[in-house]
Amino acid sequence: MSVHISIRHSFASTSRYKPHYPQRCGDALNEALYSTQGYDGWRPLDLGCGSPVFSRLAALPALTKRELRARGPQGFVPHGRDIAEGLAAHEIELVATSGATGDQVTNVWYQPWWNASEAASWQLNAHARAVATGAHREAILTSPWCAGFPYEDGYLTMEQRTLGRFLYLSERSDPSSWSSDLMDRMVEELNTFKPVVLEANPSFLAGLSRHIVRRRLHVRSPALIVLTYENPSVLHRRQIRRVFDAPMASSYGATEAGYVFMECEAGRLHQVTNTCHVDFLPFAPEHGGPEVGRILVTLFGNPWRSLVRFDIGDVVRLDGHAPCPCGHREGLTLMSVEGRTVNLTLTPESRAVTQGAVDHALGSVTGLVEYQILQTGPSAYRLRFVAEGPPSRAVGNEACDALQAVYGSAAVITAGPVEAIAPDPPGKYCLSKKLEPIDPDVLLDGKFAPREC
């Protein structure tokens, strides 16, 4: 096996951090390499404590879900802690995820760390800082398979869907099959429960918002809407905004990694530097780099979970402009999360197109309610869409023109209206994807590409 000796560059050295931050990165790295079994194979690659920590991180591979599955949850528990003992003491739980990118991963769930990560994210948004106390009433509208109480064959009472300060608005995971009565019930419950925060999967809340407009219902706005579970579409945000006047903030993270970025009141996404470090790996210029790239997440301070350079599977766009008007300066700042790597498509000339680029193009199409684009061949694209208002043929034509501008004149785009678009299991919408998935490693700028395991 050949050994790469090329220098790996790190974007982190260009970001601003508080003085103690590199030490926290070093502590997380040393704990992984020298106190956690899952990183045994990485130890020989360490540049050593004499090197800057960002260079040490950049010299290491990426940690993938495949490795999390192969080594199991115990492989990433540091300092010889024992999962069986933690479970017996009710200190931890095991939580299985079925992420959109692949197979199931079993995570060790330590609630106090999760709460700390969430509370740190609230500090990055003025509205959240003002109203999210940790004791506030919160309604949640997402797939019950992600959070809540799934019950697909019948209905549960409000009491059965309430857990402490949380109310889970839906026991059904497919908004395209929600009945009118079910959505009326959600509105009634929002009006009586009076949540301070409404945490919602944006496509789910957009569906409910369209129902509220159609039926001319009154709904009480919470103090803050937090969009999470999936990346919000321009269309979804607009549909929600027609109904709710509360400020909206997109919260970005993962079951494996906690809260990683939070949208501030100025619309940019700031890294949650209290609980994680983020390595940015830019794409090659022809694929949108150096502003667009992938991210790897390293956790701080979770006694039950050591994750270093975890490939969270998303594509982001850096904000390279003037400092954010919100005043926050620390860590990475993003213009946007551009979608998951599985949502990438290619132009006929094999240049990467993010879900965000597709969404931006389709965001201004009159009468477009929902869509899904599938790349079926090197230059073939199929658009399914839901239209409202103008004739669907006109909506389809305008959408095809918008996509032609993204994919170029060689692209062959077909469009067909549908009644509704159902989410993929466990309940997340896919706005774009390629039938034959793209290997995201080939899109990276070689100077930043992670070392092979």
The smaller minimum CB distance to Zn ion, of residues 68 and 264, is found at: 264
Site string for Zn ion, 56-95 (x = CB under 5 A): ----------------------------------------
Cβ-based burial of 179 (10 A; exposed 0-12, middle 13-18, buried ≥19): exposed
Span from 193-201, 247-255, 328-336, 382-390 in contact with Zn ion (CB under 5 A): 328-336
Q: How many residues bind Zn ion (CB under 5 A)?
A: 6
Least distance in angstroms from the C-beta of 263 to Zn ion: 8
Q: Closest distance between Zn ion and the C-beta of residue 241, in Å?
A: 20
From residue 47, alpha-carbon distances to 40, 211, 448 in Å are 15, 57, 16
Q: Measured from the CB atom, is 45 or 326 closer to Zn ion? A: 326
Site for Zn ion in 236-265 (CB under 5 A): 264
123-129: long-range pairs with CB below 8 Å, 24+? 123/274, 124/262, 124/264, 124/270, 124/272, 124/328, 125/249, 125/262, 125/263, 125/264, 125/265, 126/264, 126/265, 126/326, 127/223, 127/224, 127/247, 127/249, 127/265, 128/197, 128/224, 128/226, 128/249, 128/262
The yes or no reply on residue 266 touching Zn ion (CB under 5 A) is yes
Q: Which is nearer to Zn ion, 16 or 43 (CB)?
A: 16
Encode 398-428 in three state secondary structure: HHHHHHHHHHCCCCEEEEEECCCCCCECCCE
CA distances from 387 to 354, 417, 421 (A): 23, 7, 11
The CB-of-16 to Zn ion minimum distance in angstroms stands at: 13
In the complex with Zn ion, the residue whose CB is nearer, 173 or 271, is: 271
Written as six digits, the tokens of 224 are 């803050």
Residue number, 263 or 370, with CB nearest to Zn ion? 263
Q: Does 324 bind Zn ion (CB under 5 A)?
A: yes
Q: Does 108 bind Zn ion (CB under 5 A)?
A: no
Taking the complex as a whole, how short is the minimal distance between the CB of residue 39 and Zn ion, in angstroms? 34
In the complex, least distance from residue 335 CB atom to Zn ion, rounded to whole angstroms: 11
Shortest separation between residue 393's beta carbon and Zn ion, angstroms: 42
Q: Does 332 bind Zn ion (CB under 5 A)?
A: no
Residue among 45 and 324 whose Cβ is closer to Zn ion: 324
One-letter-per-residue 3-state SS of 159-188? HHHEECCEEECCCCCCHHHCCHHHHHHHHH
Q: CB of residue 439 vs Zn ion: minimum separation in angstroms?
A: 34
b (16+ CB within 10 A) / e for 98-135: ebbbeeebebbbbeebbebbbbbbbebbebbeebbeee
Q: Is 249 or 264 the residue whose CB approaches Zn ion more closely?
A: 264
CB-CB neighbours of 165 under 10 Å: 14
- Tell me which amino acid residue 363 is: G
Cβ–Cβ under 8 Å, residues 357 and 416: no
Q: How far apart are CA 281 and CA 65, in angstroms?
A: 18
Sole binder of Zn ion in the list 156, 326, 335, 420 (CB under 5 A):
326
Q: How far is the CB of 130 from Zn ion (least distance, A)?
A: 15
- Shortest distance, position 394 Cβ to Zn ion, whole Å: 39
Per rule CB under 5 A, is residue 318 in the interface with Zn ion? no
Nearer to Zn ion, 47 or 266 (CB): 266
As a residue count, the chain comes to 453
Q: Which of 268, 309, 340, 433 binds Zn ion (CB under 5 A)?
A: 268
Residues that bind Zn ion (CB under 5 A): 264, 266, 268, 324, 326, 328
